[in-house]
A and B are shown apart, each in its own frame.
Chain A
Amino acid sequence: MSFDVPDDLRYLESHEWVRVAGDTAAVGITAFAQDELGDVVFVELPEEGAELAAGEDFGVVESIKAVSDVYAPVSGTVTAVNDRLRDEPELLNEDPFGDGWMLEVEVADESEVDDLLSPDAYRDQIE
């Protein structure tokens, strides 16, 4: 089974993605990650204004069978939270790279993006 790994994103080994546009980055979990977790039933996210540190956990995704921490790909300030996930956590399963986005972050240090996995490197990891 092969999973979608969009070419315009960068990745963490722990299966988070980040989409960088200027100094803003959207963050979510990958199609592979949601498949491993199974039916997502609960998402716990920080509030707007929270400070994220690259590599640190910032939230929790719970499926029926598992609890999983989510890690920040980059450092920065949370500028938006996807409130739909509160009532529709299944968006993480249905559209992990789109409607299932989790946060937007104002990126503190753009050089951190260079440390993330390229789409090819992430594909190699999950194959």
Chain B
Amino acid sequence: MTLRAPPLSAVHQRADASFTDFGGWEMPVEFESIRTEHEAVRDEAGKFDVSHMGQITVAGPDAATLTQRLTTNDVTVLDPGEAQYGAITDEDGIMLDDIVLYRLPEGAADEFLFIPNAGNDGEMTERWLSERDERGLDASVMNRTEEYAMIAVQGPDAPDLLAAETDISLAGLSRFEVADGAVAGVDSLIAQTGYTGERGFEILCPPDEAEAVWGALECQPCGLGARDTLRLEMGFLLSGQEFHPVDEPRTPYEAGIGWTVKLDTEFTGRDALAGVAADGPEEKLIGIELIDRGVPRHGYDVTTPDGEPIGHITSGTMSPTLGSPIALAYVPAAYAEPDTSVRVVVRGEPKKARTRSTPFLDR
């Protein structure tokens, strides 16, 4: 299989980045060092090439009806220029993907643009098309992943950095809002969204002009390594780790994003999720902080202090900001209360740990 490469690939190679295969894309994982990049975002600002994320547009008279039928959140509350987070579930309420859905600003040719995870763009386009055809809806659905570069600039200095390069007033753009604007003279969509917990923006622009945008945002380039440690400190989900239709089948309630499920709307998976909501999920995603030395990693077992297996780590790292080992794990609801004493088994050795609420950082 040939890996897909982001439009800025050559730029990253010149910057001596190291690369990794992520969701079928060859993406920069590290430019300087994960710690340096992570700290830049927490203290100043960093920029990420996130062109591996998908872009799918939905237009036409039934665009809202169609999108409402496939996402857990209520898309009808969105005004033009607003965005929301949501999940896409199957008939059993199992998460297939999590997305940010933008209702595009007035005057746009398309009504909605949504961002599935890397490598899911083809499947999600098919999902929208088959639902449309099954219900005889009037909507056009286009996979535009190859037509967009996506650049995130994140961190406390991000607003000032971007303000110097754009022709729109960022003061008028709130969190989870999107506007048309030029960045370094390149016509773009500018959204105040991100995956780091810091203030920041995601910029969608044409691939052949992405280098001008990337170059104008003068701050630390960051790879997927720092993107992962930053999101993990916030307890944000990563597709493929905290949920996966085969390897980690989870409902939004288990994954801790029950707030995105609007049971008063009609969508695939709604009835199954109504049942889960009534009974409460049997297992929950929780934060874990190790007290003993060690680094929790994906797949490690979680046990009671007596050694009884109760769950497993989905993501873990040494938190660069806190300097302590943190993780996300699924455990039975009875163990999900913060400050429950548990063990994480690291290479056969049970390490003392406690459950924690997320985010791990106050932001």
Chain B neighbourhood of A42, CB < 8 A: 293-295, 318, 325
- Residue A1, interface by CB 8 Å: yes
B-contact 0/1 string along A74-107, CB 8 Å cutoff: 0000000000001000000000000000000000
Q: Is the CB of B294 within 8 A of A1?
A: no
Q: Write out the residue numbers on chain A whose beta carbons fall within 8 Å of the beta carbon of B34.
A: 38-39, 63-65
Q: Which residues of B contact A41 (CB under 8 A)?
A: 295, 318
Does B347 have its Cβ within 8 Å of any Cβ on chain A?
Answer: yes
CA distance A1 to B229 in the complex (A): 26
The listed residue (A1, A63, A65) touching B16 by CB distance below 8 A is A1
A50 proximal to B (CB < 8 A): no
* List of A residues within 8 angstroms of B293 by Cβ: 42, 86
Does B320 contact A64, Cβ atoms closer than 8 Å?
A: yes
Contacting residues, chain B, for A39 (C-beta < 8 A):
33-35, 320
Question: Which residues of B271-329 have CB atoms within 8 Å of chain A's CB atoms?
Answer: 293-295, 297, 317-318, 320, 325
Is B60 an interface residue when CB atoms closer than 8 A count as contact?
no
Query: A121 interface residue, CB < 8 Å from B?
Result: no
Is A67 located at the chain interface by the 8 A CB criterion? yes
Chain B residues 178 to 222 lying within 8 A of chain A, measured CB to CB, are none
Is A60 an interface residue when CB atoms closer than 8 A count as contact?
yes
Complex alpha-carbon distance, A42 and B33, angstroms: 16
In the assembled complex, B359 has its CB within 8 A of some CB on chain A: no
Tell me if A62 counts as interface (CB < 8 A to partner B): yes
Beta-carbon nearest neighbor of B20 in chain A: A65
A79 to B271, CA, bound (A): 65
A86 to B293, CA, bound (A): 9
What is the number of residues of chain B that contact chain A, defined by CB distance less than 8 Å?
17
B236 → chain A, closest Cβ, in Å?
17
Please pick, from B16, B294, B317, the residue contacting A64 in the complex, using a CB distance under 8 A: B317
Q: Which of A62, A63, A64, A67 has the most CB of B within 10 A?
A: A64
Interfacial chain B residues near A63, Cβ < 8 Å:
34
Binary B-proximity of A1-32 (CB < 8 A = 1, otherwise 0): 10000000000000000000000000000000
CA distance A62 to B300 in the complex (A): 15
| A38 CB contacts on chain B under 8 angstroms | 30, 33-34, 225
How far is it, in angstroms, between the C-alpha of A5 and the C-alpha of B5 when the chains are bound? Answer: 34
Q: Is the CB of A67 within 8 A of B297?
A: yes
Q: How far is the CB of B43 from chain A (nearest CB, A)?
A: 16
A38, A42, A65, A67 — most chain B CB neighbours (10 Å): A65
- A64 touching B229, Cβ below 8 Å: yes
- A86 contacts which chain B residues (CB < 8 A)? 293
Which residues on A sit within 8 Å (CB–CB) of B325?
Answer: 42
Q: In the complex, how many angstroms separate the beta carbon of A86 from the nearest chain B beta carbon? A: 8
* Measured CA separation A65–B37 after assembly (Å): 13
Q: Bound state CA distance, A65 and B35, in angstroms?
A: 11
Cα separation A67 to B29 with both chains bound (whole Å): 16
User: How far is it, in angstroms, between the C-alpha of A51 and the C-alpha of B297 when the chains are bound?
Assistant: 28
Chain A contacts of B297 at CB under 8 A? 67
Given A38-B225, A64-B318, 12 extra CB contacts under 8 A: A1-B16, A39-B33, A39-B35, A41-B295, A41-B318, A42-B295, A42-B325, A62-B318, A63-B34, A64-B229, A65-B34, A67-B295
Binding site for B on A (CB under 8 A): 1, 38-39, 41-42, 60, 62-65, 67, 86
A-B contact pairs, 7 of them (CB 8 A): A38-B33, A39-B34, A41-B295, A41-B318, A60-B347, A65-B29, A67-B295
